Structure 1
Amino acid sequence: MPGNKNTASPQDGRRSIQSVETGFPLLAALVDAGVPLTLRDLASRAGMTSAKAHPYLVSFTRVGLVQQDASTGQYELGPFALQMGLVSLQRLDPVRVALPHASQLAGKIGHTLAIAALGSHGPTMIHISQASYPVHVNMRNGTVMSMLHTATGHVFAAWLPPKIAQHYIEREIGDQAVVTSISPLLPDPDALQALLDDVRRAGMARALGNPLPGIDALSVPVFDHSGNIALALTSLGPSSLFDASENGPIALALRECAAEISRQLGYRPAPP
């Protein structure tokens, strides 16, 4: 059930209020829908009859979890439910949410995995899980990744607002903090735009032997509740061992992990 992955199991032996658990699918259906629903549609999505759903909705309305439009009769989340959501979002720390998922993913794929956030100089590595085999890469916590020449940078360049992305792209030229920047020149704007379009289409960035020969990398974005990029997950390894294909097992695992972190941060992708 959406939004219910970290709740207690019904078989955990603790006493519970069954009616609360029975009525919860109605709230979950409203969250999933994201739009007002009629009683019939809401009950159907929650897997119950209208007659069964109605008393729960009356109670939820009385405590502010649900509200009903007087003219259409449709139901939507109420003011107290919205306040609960805002408080929850304010308490969310993207890095704290991402760390356990990243650690689990690193063990699953067996390659170096890093979390990057946007810092004052650009995309900055804030956590690195090293592979079991040595990777001779000058990357540690605090390393600033080039917006122009790394998979991590391409992810931020693709999903940051264009003016902010351009600011970081321009300031990295000659910036000693950007240890992976290898070119003293800005790229052709049309070529860069085409590259970033490809990154957005694929939902990820790839760096094949560039800027480090023999090292490939994949990077994916993590989004927050407002739809802005919050973090990037980047995995890398030697070309001979690392499957950098867009639909390979590493890419699929990275996408799945990033999607789950984004979900926990309150991100809801736009419907197709």
Structure 2
Amino acid sequence: MAKNIQSLERAAAMLRLLAGGERRLGLSDIASSLDLAKGTAHGILRTLQAEGFVEQDPASGRYQLGAELLRLGNSYLDVHELRARALVWTDDLARSSGESVHLGVLHQHGVLIVHHVFRPDDSRQVLEVGAMQPLHSTALGKVLAAYDPVAHSEAVEAERKTLTPLTVTGLDEFESVLEQTRARGWGADVEETWEGVAAVAAPIHDRRRMPVGAVAITGAVERICEIREERRELRPELITAVRECARAVSRDLGAGRF
């Protein structure tokens, strides 16, 4: 019979300890509780921290569970199930809005497009399923970063590249954008990622009200926005439509009423 891997057993015990005890524990407490040498405990903690499973409070030096565990905890929700639940609603959204609709999830420090409904006209279009979009500038990315702590951490720590003259790259300004996104329940991108293109997105939640993806309407600025007092603002009917679509998919995933 094959032997268990000791380092994995110790790491698992460490995660259980952090999950079942006080909110934060120091290195000495962890080492003593698990009967480990401080050097051994510190090495395991550093590895878990690098993978996002453990976080260290900068002020106290104590450790707590990391946000990546949230991502693993939601692994029961298969991306294919999310796409299956969203098919009818995204088709309806594209038909009612007259624009392209994208369904995105967090993946490898960006937004992975898992479903794309073409704009319902005869124009030439390219299927974008499998494409990656940035977290910091797209409507989908802002929604994920605003509601998902893992996405937020990745967007904050990553290099926020300037993609157009309107891209928000400063940390304080970016955090302000995310705060606004949470307050109003939707995210926007007006020529921040691609010139001439605008989008509006809303979050999708599962039965535990955890964010599992986002849905967006995307199109030309002149169709997605309207001019008000010399300012380009997203059309309110599109904001309402994308939020209703996100709520409908969320309800199908068991999130209940919003």
Does TM, scored on the shorter chain, surpass 0.5? yes
TM (norm. structure 2) is: 0.59
Question: C-alpha deviations, 1:127-162, integer Å up to 9, x for none?
Answer: 1111126487x871111111111111101110011x
* Secondary structure of the corresponding residue to residue 240 of structure 1: helix
* 1:187 matched residue in structure 2: 169
Correspondence for 1:18: none
Counterpart of 2:81? Answer: 93
Distance (Å, rounded) in 2 between the aligned partners of 1:150 and 1:229: 17
Match of 1:229 in 2: 211
Which residue does 2:115 correspond to in 1?
127
> Does 2:255 match 1:267?
yes
Query: 1:239 and 1:135 mapped to 2: Cα distance?
Result: 18
Task: Tell me the amino acid that sits aligned with residue 147 of structure 1.
Answer: L
Residues in 2 aligned to 1:135 and 1:210: alpha-carbon distance in whole angstroms = 23
- Which amino acid letter does the alignment assign opposite residue 249 of structure 1? E
Task: Give the Cα–Cα distance (whole angstroms) in 2 for the partners of residues 126 and 116 of structure 1.
Answer: 6
1:66 is aligned to none
What aligned pairs does 1:1-272 form with structure 2 within 5 A after superposition? 93-131=81-119, 132=121, 134=123, 140-161=128-149, 163-171=150-158, 182=163, 187-243=169-225, 245=233, 248-268=236-256
Equivalent residue of 1:230, what SS? strand
2-structure distance, mates of 1:173, 1:195: 14
Q: Which amino acid aligns with 2:105?
A: A
Report Cα offsets for 1:213-238 as digits up to 9, x if no partner: 11111011111111111111111111
> In structure 2, what is the Cα distance between the partners aligned to 1:170 and 1:186?
14
Quickly say closer, same or farther: Cα 1:172–1:265, change in 2 above 3 A: farther
Native 8 Å contact 2:99 2:217 kept in 1:
yes
| Post-superposition CA distance 1:143-192 (Å, at most 9, x none) | 1111111111101110011x542225534668xxxxxx738x99332211
> Between Structure 1 and Structure 2, whose CA radius of gyration is higher?
1
Query: Structure 2 counterpart of 1:94, which letter?
Result: L
Alpha carbons 2:201, 2:216 under 8 Å: kept: yes
CA gap of 1:98–1:170, structure 2 versus 1, over 3 A, is same
Residues 207 and 255 in structure 2, CA contact (< 8 A), matched pair in contact too: yes
Runs of 5+ unmatched residues, structure 1: 1-88, 175-180
- Unaligned 5+ runs, structure 2: 1-75, 227-232
Structure 1 residues 210 and 189, CA, compared in 2 at 3 Å: closer, same or farther?
closer
What one-letter code is carried by the residue in structure 1 that aligns with 2:189? A
SS of the aligned residue for 2:247 comes to helix
- Give the Cα–Cα distance (whole angstroms) in 1 for the partners of residues 168 and 97 of structure 2: 34
Task: State the SS of the aligned residue for 1:157.
Answer: helix
Alpha-carbon offset, residue 243 of structure 1: 3.5
Scaled by the length of structure 1, the TM-score of the pair is 0.56
Specify which structure has the higher proportion of strand: 2
Q: What displacement does 1:239 show?
A: 1.4
In structure 2, the CA distance between the partners of 1:173 and 1:254, relative to structure 1 (3 Å rule), is closer
